[in-house]
Structure 1
Amino acid sequence: MIDRLNVTLAFDDSSHATPIGQLGRDPTRRGFAFEWDSEFANSPLLIWPVKARRMVGLLRGARGLPGVFEDSLPDGWGRLLLDREIRATGASTTELDDMQRLAFVGCHGMGALTYRPSTTPAERSDIDLGWFEHNVARIEEISDIDVLQRLRALSGGSQGARPKFMAQIAEDGVTLRDHRCSWEQGWTPVLIKGRGSMDAKGSIEVELAYGEMMRVAGITSRPMFALEGKQERFFGTQRFDREAGRRVHMASVAGLLDTGLQHGVFDYLELMRLAKGICRNKADTAEELFRRMVFNVRAISRDDHIRNHAFLMDMSGSWQLAPAFDVTFDLGPGGEHSMAIAGEGRFPGRAAFSKVAEVGGIRAKRRDEIIDAVDAALSCWPEMAAKHQVPERLLQDIYSKMAEARGWE
């Protein structure tokens, strides 16, 4: 059993990581506690600017791991793989706590936080998309520890329910290799995602079309692309926590607020206040966030929970919004947005938009310009959907729901 983890901040893939402290068990409270490294405590790098502006004393989470570290835990697909791997060894997942799960994430998770000792298997240079597709289809029956370990290592500590893996892609747009390989010119860090078992046929194509509409609407996002498997198409996008061999510290809204993944407990009004409180360029940040909110509403992208919004910190300690991600057609829990818009989750319109714009300091004229720009981008849906081969019935269903959303007051 691992009793302590050394936590570091690694802005590159070399061994030159900055120690930030140690994470250990806190038997008096039956939880975990983090002790800051004395040198890092004087650093200007506030890795948790909401809950730890002073890096002194012991740091504890509200429910378990402090949120800034809980962000590194895999969930959904990543957790499923880890649990299957543990069971395949004959052990019980009930004996595996969150600190041990961080050891499995090790030095190759999302963002720039790393955890040692690490229990990540050795890297393998090549990745066969057909191999991944084949094993995803039979995940329920796999007992081969080597296969489960490789699937888990490729997941890179990622979150979300859909089967996915991290990789580097060559300039030919097809050749893939292990995301843990040392970066070289000509290779781009990417995330590859397949269709979930509960997703409709065409969901990958829809997300690709949404990505293109976001760019037309002026929303910051990373390039997206399709990869053809043997049976189905896969969604790919460039990672925003990796850039030419550099790593970027990231934190989701859930991690910043130490709330875990909860639906319906947060509002875009609060997200606007949070973003303006920690980001360096407040006016541009407010407009970007407002634009994303309007897009999510008008495009019926209601899976906009607090883990689907994130922030990035650079090497100087400055924070900014992460590029938009996981934006696609989704009816949401109970037909509502995971995050309310000025208190309205089902039919948010211009009245709710205006309240969020006011908190963001966005004037009425500029507010309306952004709404009109988003609506203009979404008017391209039939053409974008056809371009990305969205099935006709799904295309028409989304089109009609978008039309309804434009009429909400």
Structure 2
Amino acid sequence: MLNAPLYVKRTLSDGKKITVGTLAENKNGTYFQYDTTYLQQHPTSLAPFNLKADLTLQKAPKHPHYGLHGVFADSLPDGWGLYLMDRVFRKHGYNPQLITALERLAYIGDQCLGALSYEPEIQLTDPDTADVNLMQLGKEAIKEFEGTESHLIEHLMNAGGSGGARPKMNVTQCSDGRYSTHPDAIGKKLIVKLTSEKFALKHAESLVEFTYMTMAKNLGIEVPEFALIDAGDGQFWLQQTRFDCTDKGRYHMISASGLLDASFREPSLDYVDLIKATRLLCNPDEARKMLKRALFNFLTVNQDDHAKNFAFLADDNDQWRLSPFYDVVYSPSPYQEHMTAFHGNGRNPAKALEQMAGQAGYSSVKPLLEMMEEIYSETRNFRTRARHLGLPEHLIKEIGQQIDARWKQIQ
């Protein structure tokens, strides 16, 4: 389908689109080269740790990003979005096994998270301008996720081709408060996270995540704006503002997976290294924010803390900062270990506190102990908030006991 190189574009915060460089592939791999004009205006790299800011031809590693450079692999969706993409390819007579990573980027075009986009785009059909009702499309997405094929597969792909293994939709809240599922709608850009009986927390997941984000916000941890959407039948979906979007344009975004060439499908990171990377990319203040998030994840049993659940944003002058905290929810691992380890230990950060403190610029572990006490104190309100939202009592009890157990581990 793709017979020419791909041009990588970047949308700035004011909506202006500029050429970053070119991607091309052959039987030996995928290669990227920066545009001369881009480097004159932006002398630092889109991916400072693994992509040189020069005019050399740079080959992507074969692993772990489908043979792509990590920063471009971030533009592709994960489990849910890839599933939808493959459904669309099959519908139009293409074998997904034969679709290259660059062809997938060309199909995504400008519907990526973050500021990057790809030209020329591959369009399998004429663009459908229909705007499907949020509730209708969301329920179709859940049906598809649970095994019943939807006739709105292209609409689901247009709205749901974002990151993550579970169904979600990129939607727009218009000035009149109405939700639009059309990708070109004007207004506040949101991600709506759906629920399913197939989730470990079933339809309670959005309520738990809402409670967790409330706790994080109360602790001074930056989170996106968030709210619950009543989906009927006692079910709620969670909406969050897209922090990669401005009123007119985008911020460049890279995940820890893309930044460090780390797999997000298996344990591949350590918080000591992640805090260090944050300090080097951003500054010590941002490293301390990352540290607090690590401790929050431990105490609240958010063990699905893989490499794509941390991200960084760059403004138009390529100044980096941590993105708001996201995917913050109770997610115990069947192995009882975090995807991101604490100095090699997936279960307990106690022996990693000194190293974590040092990478964040602290001279002792005292600030970390104070952070943990502050976080645990905030979790004391979990049960009350959860009951107010109507969470099942057995789940409230389980989460409360697990949080208490983590607190006892570090005493």
TM-score by length of 2: 0.91
2:138 counterpart residue number = 133
Matched residues in 2 for 1:123 and 1:320: separation? Answer: 37
Matched residues in 1 for 2:89 and 2:185: separation? Answer: 28
Matched residues in 1 for 2:134 and 2:26: separation? Answer: 42
CA shift for structure 1 position 136: 2.2
Instruction: Give the secondary-structure state (helix, strand or coil) at the position aligned to 1:236.
Output: strand
Matched residues in 1 for 2:374 and 2:182: separation? Answer: 37
1:303–1:331: 8 Å Cα contact kept in structure 2? yes
2:149 counterpart residue number = 142
2:31 counterpart residue number = 33
Matched residues in 2 for 1:158 and 1:263: separation? Answer: 20
Amino acid at match of 2:409: W
Matched residues in 2 for 1:119 and 1:192: separation? Answer: 26
Give the unaligned 5+ runs of structure 2: none
CA shift for structure 1 position 259: 3.0
Give the unaligned 5+ runs of structure 1: none
CA shift for structure 1 position 288: 0.6
1:287–1:360: 8 Å Cα contact kept in structure 2? yes
1:189–1:242: 8 Å Cα contact kept in structure 2? yes
2:279–2:359: 8 Å Cα contact kept in structure 1? no
Question: Cα deviations across residues 215-239 of structure 1 (Å, max 9, x unaligned)?
Answer: 1111111121111124431111111
Q: 1:92 to 1:143 in 2, by over 3 A?
A: farther
Matched residues in 2 for 1:13 and 1:168: separation? Answer: 18
Amino acid at match of 2:213: G
1:71 counterpart residue number = 74
Amino acid at match of 2:300: A
Q: Does 1:192 align with 2:196?
A: no
1:59–1:66: 8 Å Cα contact kept in structure 2? no
Q: 1:179 to 1:239 in 2, by over 3 A?
A: farther
1:97 counterpart residue number = 100
Matched residues in 2 for 1:389 and 1:342: separation? Answer: 38
CA shift for structure 1 position 91: 2.1
1:275 counterpart residue number = 278
1:370 counterpart residue number = 371
More displaced stretch, 339-348 vs 78-87:
339-348
2:80–2:165: 8 Å Cα contact kept in structure 1? yes
More displaced stretch, 380-389 vs 312-321:
380-389
1:227 counterpart residue number = 229
CA shift for structure 1 position 395: 0.6
Matched residues in 1 for 2:240 and 2:136: separation? Answer: 20
Residue identity over aligned pairs, in percent, reads 28
* Structure 1 residues 318-333: aligned runs within 5 Å: 318-332=319-333
More displaced stretch, 103-112 vs 190-199:
190-199
Matched residues in 2 for 1:249 and 1:179: separation? Answer: 22
Matched residues in 1 for 2:60 and 2:389: separation? Answer: 43
CA shift for structure 1 position 171: 5.7
2:164 counterpart residue number = 160
Matched residues in 1 for 2:355 and 2:309: separation? Answer: 22
Matched residues in 1 for 2:79 and 2:328: separation? Answer: 17
CA shift for structure 1 position 206: 0.3
* Structure 1 residues 3-402: aligned runs within 5 Å: 3=3, 4-12=5-13, 14=15, 16-27=16-27, 29=28, 31-42=29-40, 43-63=42-62, 64-119=67-122, 122=127, 124=129, 126-139=131-144, 140-142=147-149, 144=151, 147-155=152-160, 157-170=161-174, 175-178=178-181, 180-181=183-184, 183=186, 187-196=187-196, 197-201=198-202, 202-231=204-233, 232-279=235-282, 282-332=283-333, 334-349=335-350, 351-364=351-364, 365-402=366-403
Instruction: Give the secondary-structure state (helix, strand or coil) at the position aligned to 2:335.
Output: helix
Matched residues in 2 for 1:386 and 1:138: separation? Answer: 28
CA shift for structure 1 position 172: 6.4
Matched residues in 2 for 1:178 and 1:143: separation? Answer: 16
Matched residues in 2 for 1:163 and 1:60: separation? Answer: 33
Matched residues in 1 for 2:120 and 2:105: separation? Answer: 9
Question: Cα deviations across residues 350-377 of structure 1 (Å, max 9, x unaligned)?
Answer: x323321122112433223222221121
Question: Cα deviations across residues 112-134 of structure 1 (Å, max 9, x unaligned)?
Answer: 00101123563647441221233
1:169–1:189: 8 Å Cα contact kept in structure 2? yes
1:34–1:60: 8 Å Cα contact kept in structure 2? yes
Instruction: Give the secondary-structure state (helix, strand or coil) at the position aligned to 2:294.
Output: helix
Matched residues in 2 for 1:288 and 1:164: separation? Answer: 27
Matched residues in 2 for 1:113 and 1:98: separation? Answer: 15
1:32–1:65: 8 Å Cα contact kept in structure 2? yes
- Taking only aligned residues, the RMSD between alpha carbons, in angstroms, comes to 1.9
1:44–1:317: 8 Å Cα contact kept in structure 2? no
Amino acid at match of 1:334: Y
Matched residues in 1 for 2:265 and 2:60: separation? Answer: 16
Q: 1:257 to 1:141 in 2, by over 3 A?
A: same
How many residues matched?
A: 396
Instruction: Give the secondary-structure state (helix, strand or coil) at the position aligned to 2:32.
Output: strand
Amino acid at match of 2:50: K
- Structure 1 moving runs of 4+ over 6 Å: none
2:255–2:309: 8 Å Cα contact kept in structure 1? yes
Instruction: Give the secondary-structure state (helix, strand or coil) at the position aligned to 1:386.
Output: helix
